[in-house]
Structure 1
């Protein structure tokens, strides 16, 4: 993925929050994001890995990237086109 595109993504800082807050914050931000837009979620809760993947599958959003390191997770999601 183009680093410039990821840099322009809306960023959600859910560091230190636990389930279900990171996915609830993602859901709220996705609603405000235009179709095809990018959202970047930062989280520390390990369950976010499972929850974000399930959220994307269920609502047809595209989970473009997942990174793990330094006791945190980073996800880049593209909002479904329709």
Structure 2
């Protein structure tokens, strides 16, 4: 496998949760992460202002790791690593 293909395969998926309000971003993120392998990475894109509180709390309560949180125009983006 070439280096370029390996890098593309390891890029985290992006889950578009924009336009959804509490509690839907967390509920949908929970379902999507459940279907992933432990250690898998997933970007969550949100526009719900409460997501900056809800997503970190969800990660802490569910054993996932919040790797990164980035403010974007109109919302936030969270990189989550699925826990064991």
With structure 1 as the length reference, what TM-score do the two structures score? 0.86
How many Å separate the matches in 2 of 1:45 and 1:24? 13
Aligned residues: 77
* Cα shift at 1:69: 2.2
Unaligned runs of 5+ in 2: 1-6
Q: Show structure 1 runs of 4+ deviating over 3 A.
A: none
For the aligned residue pairs, the C-alpha RMSD in angstroms reads 1.6
With structure 2 as the length reference, what TM-score do the two structures score? 0.84
Unaligned runs of 5+ in 1: none
How many Å separate the matches in 2 of 1:12 and 1:41? 5
Q: Residue 70 of structure 2: SS of its match in structure 1?
A: strand
1:54 is matched with which residue? 57
